Structure 1
Amino acid sequence: MSTFASLPAQLPPPYSTAIPSPGLARVKKLLSRLAQALAMLWVTVTLLFLAQMILPGDRATIYLNVYEGQSVARTPEELAPINQEFGFDRPWWQQYASYLGGLLQGDMGIALQSRRSVTEMIGEQIGATTELALLAIVLAWVFSVSWVLATAGRRRWLARLGPALESLFAGMPYYWLGLILLLVFAVELDWVPVVSGSGLSGLWLPALTLALPLSGFLGQAMRTEYERALRQPHVLSSRARGTAELRVRIVHALRPALIPGITLSGWALGTLVSGAVIVENVFSRPGLGALLVSAVELKEFELISGVILIVSLVYVLLTFATDWLYGVVDRRCARP
């Protein structure tokens, strides 16, 4: 008799064969990302609080000296009203709990010199910086994608020209580029105002100053993946079927190349504020950059902390948006 006839009809599996639900796996992944984001925000908030606590000297003394424009010793009678008003005389854990409670309610504290709400001051300037950053990232994507499509996988001299110009733009400092564009388009050609202000006509040149270096980085990130995609079998077979070259390059080869660009865009938007600090001052444009420079000059530590916290929050939100865009561009990235 055959050996297999003596085996039981159904063998007990040594391991569970249950397959987890894809939806449940995505929810777990989302919760994990959320926990990481909240932990990063908590660490940022804690470090900002500690930075204020470990400043050399008494905080009330610093406030009075900066406010009155002189550096002198202060008596306890002079410091008592300031300590009581801002809570500097309370234990550190009470100040920390009050700081966290205020942030949860949208209160970032009071700027000591101007006696104004930090949330209110940031709210007045964040719109201008948001407009600048969004227009800059859109222009950077238009420039980089157009340049990669025009030069990648082309003739040898054109294929070499593409990465050369991308490296050139990526290495341009904001301050130098802003001054050159200002001299050419505002002074010589008189196409845009010298002082940008908050109007739409003065938005294009600062956005172009931020967009050109970023387009160089985006082009470098996408070019290698795009050239690899052009050599894939499905692209070659599409060409063999007689599909138009432009359709092959955009529809079949471009999507995989967008993934590195999306990753870099999430990082770029989170760091555009550092570029805006320079650009907004070069073009005399309002925004978080100009506000941050003013806060540093006046030693407004609460206002500096508020700007840093907003940048951290934007970075966390962009991380979630980047994960979502992965699945939109390439469904393979959406799999748990």
Structure 2
Amino acid sequence: MWRTRPGDRSGIRWRMLRRRLLSAVPVLLGVVTVAFGIVHMIPGDPVQIMLGTGGAFVDPEREAVLRHELRLDRPLPDQYLAFLAALLRGDLGKSLQTGEPVTALVAEAAGPSLALAGTALVLGLLLGAGGAVLGELTRSRLLRAMLSRLPVLAMALPAYWVATLLLQVFSFRLGLVPALGSTGPGATVLPAVTLALPLAGVVAHVLGSGLRTADRESYVLMARAKGATRARVVLRHMLRNTAVPVVTLSGTTVGSLLGGGVVAETIFGRPGLGRLIVNALQNHDYPVLQGVAAFLGITMVVISLIVDVAYTYLDPRVVSAAVWK
């Protein structure tokens, strides 16, 4: 059996990380290219759409200023290169609605969204993993049957219905948490639960299926033959070997939590990227849309790198396989 020493594993991880970083470059380029193409994929003249003229007379001077601000008065290759150069400097232009730098708007909205997405991710993982593990450990057939069906229910519930129900019960009737706003930990509870429930259902379904499959593996039978308790077998052996799909799922979910929290942010009156996207769409503020698209794409690439590194710690076979490459 091939084994690697701790020092060798560390070096292999660094080499894997360098390869992933190099492979992420074309992905990043594709992401920013899509963000650049948002304005150019708009049917019709984007400047007139942004000005909201509806075909009426447009002040030529105002139109010329807007075209210059968006670099639409240059050839397309020049526009693309200028966009890349500005992006490398952290300059995403200015909002057409407020005149503020897009970088500042995205950074301001990203903070609350990251906090909400992080809380929802942790809560969803805890609920989903806890339900899957409890369903594997319990000896009650009734409880196991209930836990096996709850994930489907959690995934099927519409987010707006869950948010409304949580507001009615915990804010308006019990008064335990504030209904609207973004200040204080209490204001994060209900929107985080709204986003976490579907994730918890998916995690419980994936992890529960993996645990049931692992229950028939030879290493589990060997551990039982050595006298290991049921809890030790599940927590020390089965859980680690079935955690890799959950890590992948968590990485891909962060992007949807960041960009897809429109319902939670709207119903609970929270600022964030979701509301920023909605406002930009309503006001045809395409520089803001470009900035948000670029930020979300870059965030997903960074998260995928973190997930790749996490694989090497959860599954040593990834490191061993890399030795032969």
Same fold (TM over 0.5): yes
Report the 3-state secondary structure (helix = DSSP H, G, I; strand = E; otherwise coil) of the residue aligned with 1:135: helix
CA contact (8 A) 2:94 2:101 kept: yes
| One of 86, 108, 113 as aligned partner of 1:102 | 86
After superposition, the Cα gap between the structure-2 partners of 1:107 and 1:146, relative to the gap in structure 1 and judged at 3 Å, is same
| CA drift at 1:51 | 2.7
| One of 18, 35, 45 as aligned partner of 1:48 | 35
Q: Name the CA distance, whole Å, in 1 between partners of 2:41 and 2:147.
A: 50
| One of 304, 317, 322 as aligned partner of 1:332 | 317
Q: Does 1:127 align with 2:114?
A: no
| CA drift at 1:143 | 0.7
Q: Which residue of 2 aligns with 1:62?
A: 49
| One of 43, 52, 65 as aligned partner of 1:81 | 65
- Matched length: 313
Q: Does 1:222 align with 2:207?
A: yes
Q: Which residue of 1 aligns with 2:3?
A: none
CA contact (8 A) 1:151 1:158 kept: yes
Q: Name the CA distance, whole Å, in 2 between partners of 1:177 and 1:35.
A: 42
Report the 3-state secondary structure (helix = DSSP H, G, I; strand = E; otherwise coil) of the residue aligned with 2:242: helix
Q: Name the CA distance, whole Å, in 1 between partners of 2:183 and 2:165.
A: 21
After superposition, the Cα gap between the structure-2 partners of 1:46 and 1:85, relative to the gap in structure 1 and judged at 3 Å, is closer
Q: Show CA shifts across 1:87-119 (max 9, x none).
A: 332222221111000111111111112111110
Q: Does 1:152 align with 2:136?
A: yes
Q: Show CA shifts across 1:197-246 (max 9, x none).
A: 23221001111111111000011111122122233333334334433332
Q: Show CA shifts across 1:61-94 (max 9, x none).
A: 333337xxx7622253442333344433222222
Gaps of 5+ in 1: 1-20
CA contact (8 A) 1:277 1:289 kept: yes
Q: Which residue of 1 aligns with 2:265?
A: 280
CA contact (8 A) 2:180 2:269 kept: yes
After superposition, the Cα gap between the structure-2 partners of 1:238 and 1:201, relative to the gap in structure 1 and judged at 3 Å, is same
Stretch moving more, 153-162 or 43-52: 153-162
After superposition, the Cα gap between the structure-2 partners of 1:275 and 1:316, relative to the gap in structure 1 and judged at 3 Å, is same
After superposition, the Cα gap between the structure-2 partners of 1:146 and 1:24, relative to the gap in structure 1 and judged at 3 Å, is closer
CA contact (8 A) 1:59 1:88 kept: no
| CA drift at 1:27 | 5.6
Q: Which residue of 2 aligns with 1:38?
A: 25
Greater Rg over alpha carbons, structure:
1
After superposition, the Cα gap between the structure-2 partners of 1:77 and 1:110, relative to the gap in structure 1 and judged at 3 Å, is closer
CA contact (8 A) 1:152 1:162 kept: no
Q: Which residue of 2 aligns with 1:310?
A: 295
User: What's the TM-score once normalised by structure 1's chain length?
Assistant: 0.85
Q: Name the CA distance, whole Å, in 1 between partners of 2:238 and 2:314.
A: 12
Q: Name the CA distance, whole Å, in 2 between partners of 1:84 and 1:255.
A: 56
| One of 178, 181, 186 as aligned partner of 2:163 | 178
1:183-194 counterparts in 2 under 5 A?
183-194=168-179
Q: Name the CA distance, whole Å, in 1 between partners of 2:278 and 2:62.
A: 29
Greater relative CO, 1 or 2 (CA 8 Å, sep 6+): 2
Q: CA RMSD, aligned part only?
A: 2.2
After superposition, the Cα gap between the structure-2 partners of 1:213 and 1:84, relative to the gap in structure 1 and judged at 3 Å, is closer
| One of 56, 66, 70 as aligned partner of 1:72 | 56
Q: Name the CA distance, whole Å, in 2 between partners of 1:136 and 1:163.
A: 22
Q: Show CA shifts across 1:163-213 (max 9, x none).
A: 211111112221111111111111111111111323221001111111111
Stretch moving more, 164-173 or 244-253: 244-253
Report the 3-state secondary structure (helix = DSSP H, G, I; strand = E; otherwise coil) of the residue aligned with 2:190: helix
Q: Which residue of 2 aligns with 1:18?
A: none
After superposition, the Cα gap between the structure-2 partners of 1:261 and 1:78, relative to the gap in structure 1 and judged at 3 Å, is closer
| CA drift at 1:26 | 5.5
Q: Name the CA distance, whole Å, in 2 between partners of 1:238 and 1:23.
A: 29
After superposition, the Cα gap between the structure-2 partners of 1:303 and 1:233, relative to the gap in structure 1 and judged at 3 Å, is same
Report the 3-state secondary structure (helix = DSSP H, G, I; strand = E; otherwise coil) of the residue aligned with 2:296: helix
Amino acid at match of 1:145: A
CA contact (8 A) 2:13 2:309 kept: no
Stretch moving more, 211-220 or 243-252: 243-252
| One of 90, 97, 100 as aligned partner of 2:74 | 90
Q: Name the CA distance, whole Å, in 1 between partners of 2:31 and 2:222.
A: 51
CA contact (8 A) 2:177 2:187 kept: yes
Gaps of 5+ in 2: 1-7
Q: Name the CA distance, whole Å, in 2 between partners of 1:205 and 1:76.
A: 49
